[in-house]
Chains A and B, each alone.
Chain A
Amino acid sequence: MKYKVNEKGYYGDFGGAYIPEMLYPNVEELRQNYLKIIDDADFQKEFHQLMKDYVGRPSPLYLANRLSARYGANIFLKREDLNHTGAHKINNTIGQILLAEKLGKKRIIAETGAGQHGVATATVCALRNLECVIYMGEVDIERQAPNVARMKMLGAKVVPASSGSKTLKDATNEAMRDWINNPVDTHYIIGSVVGPHPYPDMVAIFQSIISEETKKQLIEQTGNDQPDYVLACVGGGSNAMGMFYHFMEDENVKLIAVEAAGKGVSSGFSAATTYLGKEGVLHGSRSILMQTDDGQVVEPHSVSAGLDYPGIGPQHAHLFKTGRGKYVSITDEESLDAGLLLTQLEGIIPAIESAHALAYLEKMEFKGGENVVVCLSGRGDKDLDTYIKYFKL
């Protein structure tokens, strides 16, 4: 259990709940209740029923033959892109909406970057008939237009965040401000393993279904539930944490987390947090973040809106610092190329976020025959514009 959260809400040096007093009652209510609610048999039953019948789980673990031939290893894709709404984000929003209901909340707020979490939140709010407000950076509203339309159609109110870099970080600030101003009836569905304790743990638990299924599927397909490598992209880190969760204590499984290098780690336009960042506090937890010497948060850059975030979740900071996980980065161009490659070799158009994880396969050296699982966190429909522009299709 050395990589899990301790009773104080920390993972090694990281985590905690650095929040203004206005948020304390809400966060404390969650802290006291989340495990009790999640462990309850009725909750589990409803959660798994929805996962099966509504989300379409288990998501397939697909042995990608042509990709495997190219790299000389067995490349398995965990197909989170096939989930309802097209990404892993729905695993978390289903969990949190059920939890919010148990806490008696009437109004749901969320931040979104790529719009996948916003769509997943708007979807479960429609499903459970709860009011829904989504904060989204102005820049992201522009580059993820199809998802904005989906959220509106689902009945959510989409509020543009116009401060700072007008991306995910700023949308998160706005959502926190909303929560401060609506302290009683509102639940904030954070979309990644970030935020004050217990969010990182709660979101990781909901996303852990990814690795839980993967282990079973690996046994069926290879006879061994321990692959050699597990790869996932990291924005805040929720698909990666879900993918790593049940492998963390299996020390011979190598965990590889792929960050967005943007235009290059030294270009000044990057989101490679572990490479560029230092320890500090952002959005309620102590972690690693990109910042100036004075502690001001640096604006990140990535072609993929979902990875365009200057921090990572505290559990990732811990995996990084202890060396349990290897943290690497992939540029905008490398990720787009990997997206096209998967499309043409396997007939799967990945989200640009997920394409970052795929791109790292190009940099790995295999002896031959290793089992490698890549989390295909989402599908690329939302990114067609970016792909089309880049490849002049």
Chain B
Amino acid sequence: MNRIKQLFEEKKNILSIYYTAGFPNIGDTIKIAEALEKSGADMLEIGFPYSDPVADGPVIQASSKKSLDQGMNLKLLFEQLKDLRKSVTIPVLLMGYVNPVLQFGVKNFCKACAEVGVDGCIVPDLPMVEYEEFYKGCFEEHNLSNVFLITPQTADERIHKIDGLTNGFIYLLSSSATTGKNLEVGNTTENYFSRIKNMNLKNPTMIGFGISDKQTFDKACSYANGAIIGTAFVKAIENGNIEENVSEFMKKFKS
């Protein structure tokens, strides 16, 4: 069984952490994964950087740029992840934009993911219709989940369609925003979260964008199966010792 499925069957209040591969140092990709698992992360989203990340705010933009400047690319990333499953047991997804995947080749990409033990992908600018027509077969053949995003503006009908097309989880954006905006849970956000909760989707849901502390994490968990933290984590590991920074950061959520 796919590790993602198993995780959602076994756990509640899932904490998933996003970080950019090759940041802060090019060789940190695996080190961070190990440190995160050790300090209690339930799932990982490893970002492969792109030169023009339109859905990202300044923090993730900067981490992507630094990573690219240090020589990161998909080929190198898959080399770095070669022994991933020797030390990391939690589900791992790759997250990034579609153009690097296209240039790597969709088939090659899926195959490489399966070989290193990646469980799924999040490609925000890959449209549903394209996925259905050209990618889905390949993803399923390699047992990869493809995760779609939804926002407060996504229509119910479309959410049901996404629910039918995916088999990992659905990524709920707390608002239509680039990454790094703070979550302000007001009435409209709560209505939206409740609306999704009451739709009885087949897939579990994770809330992301703007989760930065225990309070926002707990709030998100009351509406979904868990939450995703990105910008706050990337900021926390920018400088200093990786292991210390990771364990310090994770303590906040595990109390």
Contact = CB atoms under 8 A, between A and B. Distances in A.
Contacts of A294: 73-75, 100, 103-104
A180 B178 contact: yes
Contacts of B148: 21
Given A16-B127, A21-B154, A294-B73, A181 B181 contact: yes
Contacts of B101: 295
A163 B127 CA distance: 26
A351 to B, nearest CB: 26
Interface string B102-134: 111000000000000000000011110110000
A173 interface: yes
A282 B52 contact: yes
Contacts of A295: 50, 74, 99-104
Contacts of B56: 177
A181 B178 contact: yes
Contact of A177 (B51, B54, B150, B173): B54
A291 interface: yes
Interface string A161-183: 00110000100010011001101
Q: Interface SS of chain B: helix, strand, loop or mixed?
A: loop
B103 A25 contact: no
Contact of B178 (A164, A177, A281, A282): A177
Given A177-B178, A282-B99, A295-B102, A21 B149 contact: yes
A25 B154 contact: yes
B61 interface: yes
A46 to B, nearest CB: 29
A22 interface: yes
B151 interface: yes
B136 to A, nearest CB: 16
Q: Max chain B CB contacts within 10 Å: which of A181, A295, A297?
A: A295
A153 to B, nearest CB: 30
B198 to A, nearest CB: 20
Contacts of B149: 20-22
Contacts of B50: 295-296
Contacts of B239: none
Contact of B51 (A22, A180, A183, A296): A296
30 contacts: A18-B126, A19-B127, A20-B55, A20-B124, A20-B125, A21-B149, A21-B150, A22-B151, A22-B176, A25-B153, A25-B155, A163-B61, A164-B51, A164-B52, A173-B53, A173-B54, A177-B55, A177-B57, A180-B177, A183-B151, A183-B153, A281-B125, A294-B73, A294-B100, A294-B103, A295-B50, A295-B74, A295-B99, A295-B101, A296-B51
5 A-B pairs with least C-beta separation? A295-B103, A295-B100, A294-B73, A183-B176, A20-B124
Given A163-B65, A294-B73, 4 more contacts: A21-B149, A282-B52, A295-B50, A295-B100
